Amino acid sequence: MDYKKSKAPGTTITRELSELDGETGSIYETIMIVSKRANQISVEMKDELSRKLEEFAYYTDNLEEVFENREQIEISKFYERLPKPTLLALEEFLQGEIYYRNPARIEE
């Protein structure tokens, strides 16, 4: 997913509970769905950031030397400014972009 184009807010906003539990019927189930998706997004973002920063890795035997790279700092700042994974996951849920299933409900 392209997180740069997400319409998720950058800060936390107040939500209506009826808006969140309308689809699942339970606010707790909604929170579990969103939290699991947020964990997935977090791992994806961390892997993407690690791959981009790996290009700038400089391995040296001397631990006292610290090299600062302006591009590396800009990439890190960009990822810090992105909406948090929880906000991205909640926006996906509200837009109906998350597929989920509850095995207990399927059996009933």
pTM of the predicted protein model: 0.76
Give residue 105's identity as a one-letter amino acid code: R
Range of the domain at 69: 16-94
Is 87 part of a structural domain of the chain? yes
The Cα 20–Cα 11 span in angstroms is: 18
pLDDT in tens, the chain (108 residues): 566 667 777 777 888 888 888 888 888 989 999 999 999 999 999 998 888 888 776 666 555 555 667 888 888 888 888 888 999 999 899 888 888 887 777 655
Domain annotation covers residue 6: no
Any domain includes 72: yes
Work out how many domains the chain is built from and give that number. Answer: 1
In a domain, 103, yes or no: no
Q: Is residue 2 part of a domain?
A: no
Establish if 37 belongs to a structural domain: yes
Distance CA 31, CA 21 (A): 9
The verdict on residue 86 lying in a domain is yes
Is residue 44 included in any domain, yes or no?
A: yes
C-beta of residue 102 within 8 angstroms of C-beta of residue 29: yes
